[in-house]
Structure formats: C-alpha cells, structure tokens
Structure 1
Amino acid sequence: MTSTVGTVLQRQHDIVLYGATGFVGKLTAEHLARHTPAGVRVALAGRSRAKVEAVRDTLPGAAQDWPVLVADSSDEKSLRALAQSAKVVISTVGPYARYGLPLVGTCAAVGTDYVDLTGEVLFVRESIDRFQDEAARTGARIVHSCGFDSIPSDLGALVLSQRVVDEGAGELGDTTLYMTMKGGVSGGTVASAMTQVDQVRADATKRKIALDKFALSPDRANEPSGEWRDSAAVRYAPEVKSWTAPFVMAMYNTRIVRRSNALLQHAYGSSFRYREVQRTGGGWQGRVTAYGVAGVLGLGFGAMSARPLRPVVKRVLPSPGDGPSEHARDTGHFRATLRTTTSTGAAYQSVVAAQGDPGYAATAVMLGESALCLAVSRDECPLPPGLNGGVLTPATALGTVLVDRLRDRGFTIEASRV
C-alpha cells in the first residue's frame, strides 16, 4: 500500500543511493548501474558533489547521466529534500549509530522506504523505539540489515519455515545456522564495531540491550523462555560432521531472525530456538581452526575494548573507505546452511549461498536488490499482519520477492528435507 504522505509528494527518483562515495556505496552503485531495469530512476547522493560525480563518472552506460544530490547527516533540510525526492533511499553511511538516525527519522516522517546494511543492534533498537509508530502511520518501510547482515540468516529461516509448513511437517524447533565463508573486512565495518563497543562500555543500559537475546523483539515480555544463550564455545556438530567456532555476527543476526519471527506472530514455531556458528571442518585441522577463530575474535574485541590498544587496531585493520581488493572480492564466497528438527521430528535444511566476498561484493547485490524490490515490486512485497509500514526486517518487508530476485542474480536459496 502506498503511504498517504508519499502520495502527496512528487517523487523525482525511484531510488536514491546515499553514501555513494563509500566503499560499499561504490559497489552498490556499480550493481545498480548494471542491473536496474530501464525506466527506473536512480540518483546518487553524498556530502561532496565533486566526489559523488567522480564515482558516477566510473559507472557504465546510462548511469553516467544519473542525477547527483548533496546531503549531510547533520543538515536536516538536506536530508528532508533527499527523502522527499525518493521512493526508496539506500543508506551506506555508517557507523549508523553516529550518522544514521536522522535519515531514518526523516524517511519515516515523509513516507519514504529505506534500506541499509547495518549490523548495529543498538542503532536498530533506537530506530524501533523512535520511529516505529511514525513509519507505521506514513506507510514507510524501514528495512535494516539488507546485506550479509542479515539477509542469509533472515531469508534462510523464512524459506526453511515455509518448506516445513508446506509439507505439513509441523513447526521449526531447534535451528542452527552453520556458516562457511571467505571474505575480508573494510574500514567502515571496523568503525561500526568500535562505535558499538564504546557505547556498550559507557552505558549499562545499552550493555543490557546488546546482551538481550530478544533485544529487537516487538513484544519482549511475551517471548518464550528457553532460547539458547550467545556462546563463544568451540563444539563438534555431528549433524554436519564439522567443528564449529563462534560466528562473528551471530549476536546480531540472531536478533534479526527473532524479530522476524515475532513480527510474523511466531509463525516459525512455538518451540523455535535459533543460533549461529561458523563451520571449520572435521578432524584435528577443523578443531585447531575452530579454536584459532575463537581466539582471534576474542583478541580482536578485547583490543577494541582497550583504549590503549586502539592505535594498534587502527594500524592493523583497514581505515574507513578502504576494503578488500577486487581480486579478494571476486574470489570470496559464503554458504549459510540452516538445520532444524521440526515439532514432528523431521530434519530439514535450507541453504543460502553466493559467490563474491560476503560483506562487500555479495552485500552490494543484496542491498541493491532489496531497494529494487521496493522500487519496482512494492505491491508484491509482504507485510507483517496488522502493519502498513514500520521498522521491519528483510524477511517481513521483502520476503520471497527478494528471494526470487537474488536467485536471478546467481544466489542459491533453497530448502529441503534431509
């Protein structure tokens, strides 16, 4: 349904990409330039017209004629003009906790759909608290986490549940995502992680939110008990014949999947429990790798938390605007395998997989296709029961429309009985 606010405003653009000069912003612009259908009006935006134009000049074909908009997260007037001009805004400007809320609020107020690639639980919680009601009133769909965080997790759980229900096999029970991946890290990701670490260290309330398994639930008081705790343990998983280590984004992705389930009125199941781990292989090599992954993650977050070590972290890891090389992006990949035992005792699995560095090459595809879902197929996209808009998730705002678009881009997304 089109928002009442959106029908009043003249929308000059179908999609505006805000943050086009950033590392992921450039990759997303390239994806849109190659795959946007004819007739869909795209504009690029950022703080510096000259820098945005320089990015535009590198794009192929008709994208070199895309309009350029100037906007800054600290300038409310420029953000409002940007949001009022667009049907859908893509934001790649992070850390989102530092720069993202003004744009989300503006999109919610004027009925503009919005997608981003955040993995910051505190930002999303504040977005819900401040803008859920306004977005629901105007019909704006605010869709966070439309990249590697958390589309593989969210769509994997969705298609798994749909397959189980379609085959009359009951509901999802204990469900584990096993991630295998090859990819790099960008300076923007590092900056986001440091920002959230600082917030958690400085504020006990925010620390409690970050550790809450149901931090993003729309109805926290009525969530079921018995959900798995976040764990940094190394384990052997017989069902996949592999050792497992902590997965770096599990503490975020699990919150998104649980929010989807709650928004869908717990359609995944009354006994649904969900966790994510990283698969490292069998034998002693897999075990050693699992302990190595756990150690590196512990040292990394420990170093980020210790202010005297911050200069070392900044020297070792990429700076904002930097990221993996083109070769690294092309040779990266990921495979998320979700395994469940249903309430009838049946075993099912879903797989979400793609070629390309998961956090950058694959994320640019996921983010761009999420925006195109809303720009060209909005009426076909689902909404949770009782909602006209709001702060949503990929599964509840885009659903199988996004599944089909990603399959068309070479992604594997499937579910089956095992």
Structure 2
Amino acid sequence: MSGRAHDVVVYGATGFVGRLLAEYLAEHAPSGTRIALAGRSRTRLEEARRGLPAAARDWPVLVADATDEAALEELAASTTVVATTVGPYLRYGLPLALACARTGTHYADLTGEVLFVRRVIDACDDLARSTGARIVTACGYDSVPSDLGVHLLHQRARHDAAGALLDTTLHARARGGLSGGTIDSSRAQVEAVEADRRALKVLFDPYALSPERAAEPDLGKERDVTTVFEDAQTGDWVGPFVMAAFNSRIVRRSNALRGHAYGRRFRYREVNAFGRGARGHRRALVQSAALGLAMKAMADPRTRPLVDRLAPSPGQGPSEQTRRTGWFSMTLRTTTETGRRYVATVRAQGDPGYAATAVMLGESALALALDGDRLPAAAGVLTPATAIGDVLVERLRARDFALTVEELPTA
C-alpha cells in the first residue's frame, strides 16, 4: 500500500473518542507517519485539527458521510488503515467496513457490539480475505486486554509444553467514567432486538462470533456470570462484568481462528472483582444490583427515556481529570491439561474506556500501518490477537502497559 496517500485515517475525528485518538497519534506516531482526519463536516474537522498538538496542524481533512458508500470507498482507497470511532457501529459502521474490505484497506474500531461484529463477519470476511484486508474489531478496552491476556497465557503454556488451556477466568478491576457513546451503543443493540427478536439468539450464544458454529466443542452450558459469589481461587467476592458478554465472544473467536489452539476444552468467563471480606461482599451486591437495574431500564421502553435523561449525551465523556486518574487491572487465571496453573496481568493507567483506549486503538492502527512485515499472516475479519498479536503486545509495553504472565504453584 506504499502508493496510497495516507498511512492512517482517523474517521470520526470530531467526536469525543476520535479527538482523543487524534491527539494520541499527534503526540506518539513516528515522525513522517502520514495521518489524515475524516468525518462528515469539513468545518468541524478543521476546528478539531486546530485543537490538536502542533504535529497535527498540517494533517489533511477528508469529508465522508457514514452513509455515502462512494465517499467511503474513496476514503478507504486513499489509506493503508482506517481507525474509526464512529458509533454506534450497529447503525453506522458496516458501510465503512465494507469499503475497507473491497479496497484491501486495514480497519480498526472500538466496537463492543456483538450484533455488529456478527454482521461484519457475514458481510466482509470472505471479501477481506480475497483483498488481503485485515478488518480488526474491538481494538480498545473492548477487547484488547482480554484477547491479549489469553494470547499470553497460550504462548506461555505452549512454551512450557504444559498442554492446552482449560478453565480460564478474567478478574476485572477498573476506575473510570462513562460516555454518551457507550450508552448509545447499548441502546442500538436493544433497538435491534426490538426490531427482530432473532437477534437475542445471537446475543445469548457464547460462540456467536465463531467462524463455524457447528465446529465448536460442546462444553455444556457456558453462560456469563449473573450472580455474586466468593471466588474459591482468589477469595474475592465477584459478580457480573458488563463487558463479559462481548469480550468472551471475541476471545472464543480468536481460539477458533487459530484452529482451537487454546484447546478444544477451553472454557472462558469474565467477572468483576470487588475484594475480600464483608466490604467486598457489600460492594459486589450493591454494584451488581445497580448494573442489573441499569440493564433492565435500558431494555424496557417505558424506562429508557429516564436513562436517556440521566446518562451523558452522545459526544460527551468523562473529564480530563477522570481520564488521567482512571486505571484498569485485569488478571486472567488458567489451568492447563497437565495441571499447571498460570496468571496473566494486563494493567494500565488512565481511564480504561477513553485514555487507555486511545492508546490501544492508536497502537493497533500504527501496527497495521507500519509493521506489516511483522504481523501474523492473516486476512479477513479478525481479532486483536489474531491480526496483530505480539506486535501489539510490544507496542503497548512501550507505552507503559503491564502485560505479564507467570506460573503459579500447583495446588
């Protein structure tokens, strides 16, 4: 793609997360990286560019509406990579993904929407394979920590000849804010279910994003955690994790795309960890109940207007202080076929959904644009682990992310 005008195009550069991504690239992309800003309004793009660091002042601006297929295809053909923050992806994302698949352009997004990824797989996978495009979904807090954490566990177990992975659990801890875009993405999936109840089957299928559903192993009921309980391994009180229903499907897709290299009996779940003792128990009960009520309120047309009034509007997000002081820490524990046990940790400073996510998406885009000869030999609709893998691990470590794995004593 050396003949293309740009290395990376930031699509949605006038939105809340798009501006954070553009700012990150202006500060950290290697000198000489050809970056452009794109969206539907030239005036707003030029205004956003004026607010970026000096390195971005000469970046071109490209105008393309999310519904204009011809403009999107022209945009995609001009660059090696499109990094898009325009959501809800279920409403606006498919035409751009298709444009990238048709033109052989790599693509990275921040989606946490199962229904969108399923549509992209169905519409783009074969086409992207034929053109060599890497269509990489979930390149932010959804689902880079989960996907790379299991990737590291698999690598270590393979290095140690410890056998395939069996039961694997991610314990999540984080502090950060909420944006209107996140709420809007949830609303889009609810509306899709209301329009077609068959979408519920996709949402509740643990292998909804697998390339070949019939080839998945029958491991009995694999359901996301819905109750509060004391974890036997860690002693923490744990409960439902809001991102588990998406992240777990991405991780299972990675396993399937790799020929079930993690194992044919690989079982994966994610939980929110609240700490030990009575205090941890109280926190687990209160926060899990609040999550349940919020999800029910969003799903019920009678109470959804109340959520709309209380939640941030699209385009709004957490303050600069919240983004700076936020953090996340995910620990993933697994047992292998030989009985050996490992723990991986993925941890970073910065609000996970915004400050840290800008780093994850930014480094994913730079890897796709600049590290082509080092990436896995793959094309189609991919995951962060299968499309970028070790290269993304290296890039995030260089940006002060902790990505580690160690063996635990045998029980």
TM-score bucket (shorter structure): over 0.9
Per the TM alignment, residue 199 of structure 1 is displaced from its structure 2 partner at its CA by 1.2
2:19 is matched with: 26
Q: Deviations over 1:218-265 (max 9, x none)?
A: 111011111521221111113122000100000000000000000000
Aligned to 2:125: 132
Tell me how far apart the structure 1 counterparts of residues 76 and 291 of structure 2 sit (CA, whole Å): 38
| SS of structure 2 residue aligned to 1:135 | helix
AA partner of residue 326 (structure 2): G
Give the alignment of 1:395-410 within 5 angstroms: 395-410=385-400
Q: Share of identical aligned residues, percent? A: 57
> Could you tell me which residue of structure 1 aligns to residue 231 of structure 2?
237
CA distance in 1, matches of 2:406, 2:369: 31
Superposition deviation, residue 184 in structure 1 = 1.0
Partner of 1:319: 313
> What do residues 82-128 of structure 1 show as CA deviations (whole Å, max 9, x unaligned)?
10101000010000010000000010001000000000000000100
CA distance in 2, matches of 1:360, 1:107: 25
Q: Give the equivalent residue in structure 2 for 1:391.
A: 381
SS at match of 1:308: coil
CA distance, structure 2, for counterparts of residue 153 and residue 231 of structure 1: 16
Q: Output the CA distance in 1 between the equivalents of 2:286 and 2:251.
A: 27
Task: Describe the SS at the equivalent of 2:198.
Answer: helix
1:380 aligns with 2:374: yes
1:79 counterpart residue number: 72
| 1:150 counterpart (125, 143, 153) | 143
Q: 2:169 aligns with which of 158, 173, 176?
A: 176
TM-score, normalisation: structure 2 = 0.97
| Aligned pairs for 1:59-70 within 5 A | 59-70=52-63
Pairing partner for 1:355 from 342, 349, 358:
349
1:3 — aligned with what?
A: none
Match of 2:204 in 1: 211
Q: Give SS of 1:281's match.
A: coil
1:157 maps to a residue whose letter is V
Equivalent in the alignment of 2:158: 165
Q: Partner letter of residue 346 of structure 2?
A: V
Runs of 4+ in 1 over 4 A off after TM superposition: none
Q: 1:310 — aligned with what?
A: 304
Q: 2:20 is matched by which residue type in structure 1?
A: L
Alignment-derived partner of residue 365 in structure 2 = 371
Report the Cα offset of residue 139 of structure 1: 0.3
Within 2, Cα distance between the matches of 1:238 and 1:310?
37
Task: Report the Cα distance in structure 1 between the residues aligned to 2:38 and 2:180, rounded to whole angstroms.
Answer: 20
Alpha-carbon distance in 2 for matches of 1:304, 1:326: 27
Q: 1:220 aligns with which of 203, 213, 234?
A: 213
2-structure distance, mates of 1:331, 1:44: 28
Contact 2:193 2:200 in 1 (8 A): yes
SS at match of 2:117: helix
SS of residue paired to 1:37 = coil
Q: 1:352-371: CA deviations, max 9, x gaps?
A: 01000000000000000000
User: Aligned to 2:268, what secondary structure does the other structure show?
Assistant: strand
RMSD: 1.0
User: What corresponds to 2:401 in structure 1?
Assistant: 411
* Distance across 2 between alignment mates of 1:191 and 1:216: 22
- Match among 240, 243, 249 for residue 243 of structure 2: 249
- The gaps in structure 2 that reach 5 residues or longer are none
Secondary structure of 2:328's match?
strand
CA contact (8 A) 2:168 2:333 kept: yes
User: Once structures 1 and 2 are overlaid, which stretch shifts more, 223-232 or 244-253?
Assistant: 223-232
2:9 is matched with which residue?
16
Contact 1:246 1:293 in 2 (8 A): no
Work out the number of aligned pairs and report it.
Answer: 407
Q: Find the counterpart in structure 2 of residue 331 from structure 1.
A: 325
The residue that corresponds to 1:89 in the other structure is 82
Q: Is the contact between residue 225 and residue 239 of structure 2 (CA under 8 Å) also seen in structure 1?
A: no
Q: TM-score, normalised by structure 1?
A: 0.96
SS of 2:303's partner is: helix
Return the alpha-carbon distance in structure 2 between the equivalents of residues 299 and 21 of structure 1: 32
The 5-angstrom pairing of residues 79-118 of structure 1 reads 79-118=72-111
* Cα distance in structure 2, aligned partners of 1:352 and 1:231: 21
- Asked whether the 8 Å contact 2:225–2:270 carries over to 1, the reply is no
Q: Distance in 1 between matches of 2:279 and 2:401?
A: 29
Amino acid paired to 1:282:
R
Amino acid of the structure 2 residue aligned with 1:358? P
Aligned equivalent of 2:50: 57
Establish whether residue 277 from structure 1 lines up as the match of residue 267 from structure 2: no
| Secondary structure of 1:89's aligned partner | strand
CA distance in 1, matches of 2:383, 2:35: 23
CA contact (8 A) 2:27 2:55 kept: no
Q: Is the 8 A contact 2:350 2:356 kept in 1?
A: yes
Q: What SS class does the counterpart of residue 264 from structure 2 fall into? A: coil
